[in-house]
Amino acid sequence: MFRKITSLTIMIAVCLTMASCTYKTSGKPYIEKSDRAMADGMAYAVERRHTDNFICYKADDGKVMLYPVNEKKYFSYDPDNLCDITPGEIYRITYDAQIVTGGIAGHNDRTFLTVYSCKKGSYDNLFENGIAKRAYKWRMGSTIVSPVLKGTTEFIAFRNTESGYDMYTKERGKTHYDKAKEVRYTVNVNDPKEKTIELQFNVFCQSNITDEYIIDHLTKNKPYDETEFFLIDCEHPDQDWGSKNDYDSIEKFAASKHFHHHSVYYDSKDNMKGGPRRLITYEEMETKSHEELGLDYPLYQHIYFTWAQMKDGDYYANGSDNPYDRERAMACDVLIFKGDFGGQASVMYDKNMKLYINDEWFDYTNHPTRRYSYLIVFIRCEFNDMFPQD
C-alpha cells in the first residue's frame, strides 16, 4: 500500500510539473544542429515550452494551420494533428516546435512536436504580445495579410473557408469582407514618354461598395468606415514579377520610379525655418530667394542645384553617370525632412498617402552608418496636387 501511495504521489508530481497529463506528442525527434557552413545547408532549432495566441486558418493548399499573434513571429505553425482546432477560431497554446530553415528550397518551417495545452482564446488577450509587421504579400495571393501602411488599424487577415476574408483587429474584433479587390485609377502626369500612370488601390471591401466610392474617398482624403472597405497597399503587380507593370503605384506616381531615385541626403548645420518637415512648391523654388524660403544659402543652393537638374532633365539618380540612370525632365516640388537620419533611411507613405521617413527598420547598432541632418525628396507636382504633402 505504501508503495502504491508513493507511486501515485510521484505520478501526481510529474503531472503537475508537466502542467497536464493529457499533453500530446508527435514522437518525432527534437533536432538541434546546423549545416549552414555548407552551401544550401539546413539549420534545425527547437522552441521549448512557448506559449502563444494563435488564429487558426485553412491555407491555400487546404491544410489547417496556426498563425501566431506575436510581434516577433510571422511564420505559421503546422499543428501536426496535435490540436483539436477549427479555422476561424482563436487558441492559446503551450508547445514545443521544430524549426527548419535553409536548403535549396528556402525552408522556414515550424511544426509542433509536443502540445502541453490547447485552449480556446479570446480577444481580451489576443494581441497582448503585439503583432508582426511582416507577413505574406498581397502580390502572392496568399492567405495571410498584415499591416503595410502606417496609420492603419493593426490587423491580421485570412481568406475565409467559405468566401471572402476575415480580419482580426484589437479595436473591433473580427470583421468579414466579401472580397479582395484591385481598384485602378488613371492619373495624368507631365511626362514626355509616360502621359498617364495607373494607380492601384488594393482593398478588402463589401459587395455593395463601388470602385468609384473607393477612389473618391482615397484620392480626396475623405473619412470612411473601415468596415466598408480597408486599404491594404498600392502595389501594382503584373502577372510576371519584375515586368514594367510591377511597381508600387504611389511611389511611381510621386517619383517616376522609386523614392530613393529622388532622395538626396545632406549633412549640414545649415538652418531651415519652420518645423522638421517643409514643402516648397515648384513655383516657390522658381520665384523665391533663399531668404524668402527661410533657408540658409548653402542649403538652398544644394536643393536648387538638384531641383534644376530634374527640371531640365540633367539629373542622374544616385549620383550615377550611367545614361540609363538619367531621369526624364520633370517638374518637382521639394519635400524637406530635418532630423538625424542614417544612411539606410527610406521614404514611405501612410494610409493617407502622406510621405514620411522610416529609419527604424535598419539595425544601426550592429551596422553603423553615416548620419545626415537633412533628407530631401523631390516629388512630382501632380502627386502633391492630389495628395497634399504640406
pLDDT at res. 137: 58
Question: Residue 124 gets which letter from DSSP?
Answer: T
Inter-residue contact 166 to 232 (CB < 8 Å): no
Mean pLDDT per 10-residue run, the chain (390 residues)?
42 46 89 68 92 94 93 94 95 97 83 97 91 66 78 89 91 93 93 87 96 97 95 82 78 92 92 93 97 96 94 77 74 96 94 94 88 96 95
Tens digits of residue pLDDT in 318-337: 667 676 667 778 899 999 99
Asked whether residue 190 falls in the same domain as residue 107, the answer is no
Asked whether residue 283 falls in the same domain as residue 365, the answer is yes
Cα-to-chain-centroid distance, residue 62: 26
pLDDT at res. 237: 80
- Provide the domain limits for residue 221: 138-245
d(CA 234, CA 252): 10
Residue 206 lies in a domain: yes
First CA to last CA distance, the chain = 84
Asked whether residue 222 falls in the same domain as residue 300, the answer is no
Q: Which of 186, 214, 245 is the last residue of a domain?
A: 245
Cell triple for 219: 484620392
Radius of gyration from C-alpha coordinates of the chain: 26
Q: What is the residue type of 264? A: V
Asked whether residue 110 falls in the same domain as residue 53, the answer is yes
d(CA 189, CA 195): 5
H helix runs in the chain, sequence order: 2-17, 211-219, 249-255, 282-287, 290-293, 297-312, 381-386
Q: Which residues pair with 67 in a beta bridge?
A: 55
pLDDT at res. 13: 46
Model confidence, pTM: 0.84
d(CA 140, CA 137): 6
Asked whether residue 200 falls in the same domain as residue 299, the answer is no
Residue 366 lies in a domain: yes
Residue 10 lies in a domain: no
Asked whether residue 301 falls in the same domain as residue 362, the answer is yes
Half-sphere exposure of 110 (CA within 13 A, CB side): 16
pLDDT at res. 112: 98
Residue 252 lies in a domain: no
In the numeric block, the cell 513571429 is attached to: 73
Q: Which residues pair with 229 in a beta bridge?
A: 205
Q: Which residues pair with 111 in a beta bridge?
A: 78, 98
Comparing C-alpha atoms, which of 203, 260, 268 is closest to residue 230? 203
Comparing C-alpha atoms, which of 72, 227, 203, 229 is closest to residue 138? 203
Residue 19 lies in a domain: no
Residue 56 lies in a domain: yes
Cell triple for 25: 506528442
Asked whether residue 106 falls in the same domain as residue 176, the answer is no
d(CA 331, CA 191): 9
Residue 203 lies in a domain: yes
Q: What is the residue type of 234? A: C
Domain count, the chain: 3
pLDDT at res. 10: 42
Residue 11 lies in a domain: no
Asked whether residue 360 falls in the same domain as residue 277, the answer is yes
Comparing C-alpha atoms, which of 277, 279, 380 is closest to residue 334? 279
Asked whether residue 90 falls in the same domain as residue 200, the answer is no
pLDDT at res. 134: 67
Please report the beta strands in the chain, taking only residues with DSSP state E, as ranges in sequence order: 24-25, 33-34, 42-58, 64-68, 90-102, 107-120, 155-159, 165-169, 173-177, 179-188, 196-205, 229-233, 235-236, 247-248, 263-266, 277-280, 332-342, 346-349, 355-358, 371-380
Q: Which of 245, 274, 301 is the last residue of a domain?
A: 245
Q: Report the b/e string of 288-323 with b at 16+ CB within 10 A.
A: eeeeebebbeebbebbbebbebbbeeebebeeeeee
